[in-house]
Amino acid sequence: MSVLSYTIISVLIISSISMIGLITLSLSNRILDKLITYLVSFATGTLFGGALIHLLPQAYASNMNSLYVSLWTITGLSIFFIMEKFFRWRHCHHPTTKAHLHPIVPMNIFGDTIHNFIDGVLIAISFTASIPLGIATSVAVLFHEIPQEISDFSILIKGGLSVKKALLVNVLGASVSLVGALIALQMGKNINGFTNALIPFTAGGFIYIAGSDLIPELHHDTEISKSLMQLIMLIFGVVIMTLLELIF
């Protein structure tokens, strides 16, 4: 298949995760919070693995100067920091409760749309570099999307939206990923060095999300048994990304 085909299929699969929010209707907050904690741990491992096992080695193996690779990685970290500061792009992955309040619904919708657009860009750029790298990046994004979409759906429902409207909002927001992917593919054709620069940029973004957004959430649970399970799930996420590197 072509890069375009791989990109579209991957984005559509990841976008379909927006429907997983329905799981929030059948689970109690206690069970849901425990489930999401372990999913976040796993997502942390896949994001770190995606950045350090797939993206950065690919960037350093390219013709780009190693200094530029490092600078573009730092740029990725910085840009994601700026987005979190000024656009409140960050998503908390735990359900809304009286003790754990979320931003208002419109801000969540805005942040989710921006996030999905960027996901599409990152996936497209990775497939442009190589099919195996695109698959690895898609897997990392996919596992990050699962706890996030569950949380987003919970926010929309508890913010007053009906189930149908919440699903519609999530699906429409997810579809923006395809727009981002198509724009990135077009830019990659027209701008020399665009793909090479965006690979370490993506790695920086993954490292920022895992280190700044996800790991702090895992520290909310300090029980030894839960912390051990979090560590196991994080390592499992890294193992999955390692296996992808060995297979492809």
The C-alpha atoms of residue 58 and residue 51 are separated, in whole angstroms, by 10
CB 156 within 8 A of CB 105: yes
* 23: pLDDT strictly greater than 80: no
The pLDDT assigned to 97 comes to 55
The pLDDT assigned to 87 comes to 64
The pLDDT assigned to 165 comes to 86
Q: Residue 186: in which H helix or E strand, if any?
A: helix 163-190
Percentage, residues of the chain above pLDDT 90: 52
Q: Residue 191, by phi and psi: left (phi above 0), alpha (psi -120 to 50) or beta? A: beta
Most confident residue range from 3-12, 82-91, 162-171? 3-12
* 226: pLDDT strictly greater than 70: yes
* 133: pLDDT strictly greater than 70: yes
The C-alpha atoms of residue 242 and residue 237 are separated, in whole angstroms, by 9
Most confident residue range from 87-91, 105-109, 151-155? 151-155
* 199: pLDDT strictly greater than 60: yes
| Single pTM value for the model | 0.85
Which position has the higher pLDDT, 12 or 36? 12
> Residue 193: CA atoms inside 13 Å, Cβ hemisphere, count?
7
The pLDDT assigned to 91 comes to 56
Which position has the higher pLDDT, 56 or 150? 56
Q: Cβ contacts of residue 32 below 8 Å, gap of 6+? A: 23, 24, 95, 150, 154
CB 200 within 8 A of CB 52: no
The pLDDT assigned to 95 comes to 58
**What are the sequence ranges of the domains in the chain?**
3-247
The C-alpha atoms of residue 58 and residue 167 are separated, in whole angstroms, by 37
* 89: pLDDT strictly greater than 60: no
Total count of residues recorded for the chain: 248
The pLDDT assigned to 208 comes to 94
The overall average pLDDT reported for the chain is 87
The pLDDT assigned to 174 comes to 86
Q: Residue 19: in which H helix or E strand, if any?
A: none
The pLDDT assigned to 248 comes to 81
* 92: pLDDT strictly greater than 70: no
97 in helix, strand or coil? strand
Looking at the DSSP assignment, which residues form a beta bridge with residue 100?
Answer: 97
Q: What are phi and psi of 239, to 5 degrees?
A: -60, -40
Task: Pull the structure tokens for residue 23.
Answer: 């799981």
The pLDDT assigned to 101 comes to 42
Of 94-98, 137-141, 145-149, the range with the lowest mean pLDDT is 94-98
